[in-house]
Amino acid sequence: MDDESTDEALRAIAEPRRRAILRLVAHQELPAGRIAEHFDVTRPAVSQHLQVLKDAGLLIERREGTKRLYRARHEGLAPLRQFLDEMWAESLDFARRIAEGERGLSDRQSEAG
């Protein structure tokens, strides 16, 4: 449940600016320059954010001439919802295993490290 893709997506949306970008292109395709106009940082900064979001699978890039259109990829957010859901379900089972065989932890202390 805590695979690398979830971690990448989580770190991506942990940044306020990236969340704002994500909302901008949530249901509307926009070019990079247009996105950058909404913020008071330089365009390269926005480009880097777009790259991070793209690597996290939260964005889709489409090239049209010299322009590059960006659009949110909603499936990319699904793992995060799944993570939150499993936070309830699986952890219950994990807690039960601790309660039943807690002495087992002394044998392998660094299982979560």
Partner DNA sequence: CACCAACGTTAGTAGCCGCTTTCGTAAGCG
Partner DNA sequence: CGCTTACGAAAGCGGCTACTAACGTTGGTG
- Report helix, strand or coil for 110: helix
CB atoms within 10 A of CB 71: 15
- From the list 26, 29, 38, 42, which residue makes contact with DNA (rule: CB under 7 A)? 42
Q: Which does 37 bind (CB under 5 to 8 A by kind): DNA, a second copy, none?
A: a second copy
- Identify residue 55 by its one-letter amino acid code: D
Q: Does 101 bind a second copy (CB under 8 A)?
A: no
Which of 2, 24, 13, 23 lies closest to 55 in space, CA to CA? 13
Q: How far is the CB of 7 from DNA (least distance, A)?
A: 10
Rounded Cα distance between 17 and 39, Å, is 9
- From the list 32, 60, 69, 77, which residue makes contact with a second copy (rule: CB under 8 A)? 77
Task: Copy the structure tokens of residue 34.
Answer: 């247009």
Give counts: helices (H), strands (E), the chain: 5, 3
Binding site for a second copy (CB under 8 A): 2, 7, 10-11, 13-14, 16, 19-20, 22-24, 26-28, 37-41, 72, 74, 77, 80-81, 84, 87-88, 90-92, 94-96, 98-99, 105, 109-113
Binding site for DNA (CB under 7 A): 11, 14-15, 17, 31-34, 40-52, 61, 63, 65-68
